[in-house]
Structure 1
Amino acid sequence: MIEARSGLRMVSDAAGPAQGEFVRQRDVREQMKVSLRQLEILQAIAVAGSISRATRRLGMSQPSISQQLAKMEEVLGAQLFVRGRNPRTELTPAGEFWADAASRILTSVDAAETLHQDLFDERGLNLSFGTTPSLTGRFTELVARIAVSIRPFSRFDLVWAINSYELIELLMTHRINVAVLSSESVAAHRSSLNLLPLYEDKIVWAVPDSIPEEMIRDCLAEGSAPNQCESLQRYADLDGIAPWFGKTRNWYRGVLPFAQPYFGCMTHESAVQIVAAGLATCHTPISLIPNLSASVRERVRFYEVEESAREVMLAMPKHLASVRPFSDFAEQLATSVRKEYSSPDLEIRPLPLPDGARAGL
């Protein structure tokens, strides 16, 4: 005989202890209803570092996210986040457990969906490719040509992110499936990603072409501000956006101590455009130069600095490496990009800094 008691279904002794334990376990499972959507929300917050930052990734309002989290905590009977005034969202031990579980579960679901598309969906696979605005122009054309050549891809989405850290968020929350980004941004996620090194992206110093080289030589050698050239007293930077922005500030402190970060920019391209207007100098990755318009390039001179700033990599979730269209895409892109960015055809000729200048980055 089965009877209800305190919300649990209990089995009489006649049914045996094994059957009773089975029913109790089933009741616990029925009570614990964590949804995939709740796991997506938890993972997005864990990756982004805060609820407010996750709202943009999820396309949800903050009250909706908070409501889903409250339901999840109620179902689990555990607090997932440390409540406090810290702008970053700190996970409790239970939150860390479920964030890790969410990552594994959602990766498995994504892998199953991708494999299903490859095997059974006549519409084909979607390639969602993410990169930063620095890689536009001929790079975009190269990626698009390769995507079109791989027939199982039925759609190609090009997604821009402000920086490599945003691309990692998009990858880890399954908003994109392939990205080209800076190696610094993948440190915490290497175990989840298949990574292919592409090229070393050197950083150059961009200077208005209107500034005489003798003035630059004297200024760098003496470390003093030229009164007749205000543009050398200002620089444009990507504060907190470029992974290496701290190196830029250290370079200016050591080489041009009088220069101030007057312009704050969201992209390297906008920083170089300010330089082309004769208003400031800036640091920029060399990979941007081929993508600049001719009118911008002819108004800027680019000087070498001693150290490379970043290694550019192709990244995608590990499970995609076993899906032939994605592995073919990654291999073709890596081969083509390595050739393109080591080719003399790019016509990138940064100038050496004038003799006597301190060049270290």
Structure 2
Amino acid sequence: MRIALTVALIAIALCGCSLLQPRPAPPEAQRPAFTIFYTAWVKPDEKIATVKIRLSENPEWVNWMRFYIDPARHSGLLSSGQLSMQGNEALWTPPDEDAWLQYDVQLESQRSNGRYDGYITADWALFRADDLVPPVRTDFKDGTQSKAKLEINVPQSWSVVTRYPQYTSGRFKVDDDDRLIDRPTGWLLMGEIGTRRETIGGTKVTVSAPVDQGIKRMDMIAFLRWTLPTMQELFPEFPERLLIVSADDPMWRGALSAPNSLYLHADRPMISGNGTSTMIHELVHVAMSASSGPKADWIVEGLAEYYSLEVLHHSGTLSTERYEAAHRALAEWGAEAESLDVDRSHGPITAKAVGRLRAIDAEIRERSGGERSLDDVVRGLATMDGDITREAFDALVESVLL
């Protein structure tokens, strides 16, 4: 029986709009810029970082910056200019000269199960760059944008890896083409660490972990040399830089993606016994850089799990027999889920989603005479702006069939 596909294109045509909004192309002419210097002093003994944000080169172009403060993590706010607190928001009006804002931030972040997704010891620290600088809204002069640099000061014996290119000065270039205000994001690892680097296709890959934890960095590099070219073929705009960090307990026993980076716990295999791959699953998230709208999380998580199998199979890493066995196991697990219409997809719901997506792929191939597939849909989703919704997904599936 064919899967019923929702037709949203008629409504789109009638209203003259599109559910699929492509990311805007960068402007042809470079905008004039003001400079933001982010400086962090990491203090392992106190498990905090002192962060200073300084505006230079045309600071007068910035009218105000509004930071969303977590009272449990941020403290000791100081600044030049005017600073006022409005609930959990800090509104900073910088002066035209010597503009700076400073605060302390707790670096450790503990999840409900007691494991950490941000942790600091006397020997190493692993957390997201997002933790250093809280979310911010900025009002600045029309027609301008920011240039940003990040400097991380650590104990003398420590090293630092980020997803960003590094200047000879040691500072990192923070550059996000999708934003006018550049803010550090992605995973950070620092301390007494071991790092391996390799260029695979068009991607500069860095794999890093604390020393003496038995983490097989070269095995990860070899696995990526085998599988990443297939991922790059599926996602032509795969990031030019990729950082993979790993650590042992008490870090969270799983994997978490972030912009151009991912964290993988030391005990996670590159390929699980059921034939899926947590690493490839998270790499799909990195490639798509997507969040889900209401009741659409099964699409985002299902695609990541579905393509963890597709990449392994098409790269020759997984045989056809094991590939089919993995799908049978997921179908059996997915039978435990009653519905895909949930806020968060996990376990049997994601397994059920894989079966749904495989059926959609089969129908696309059949109706297009083998000329199209779910690959065309996922490439379209990867170039969308905003959350992935069920309506946008259905419309893109239907457009692939036209």
Structure showing greater relative contact order (alpha-carbon pairs closer than 8 Å, 6 or more residues apart): 1
Q: TM-score, normalised by structure 2?
A: 0.23
Greater strand share, structure number:
2
Greater helix share, structure number:
1
Task: Give the greater-gyration-radius structure (CA).
Answer: 1
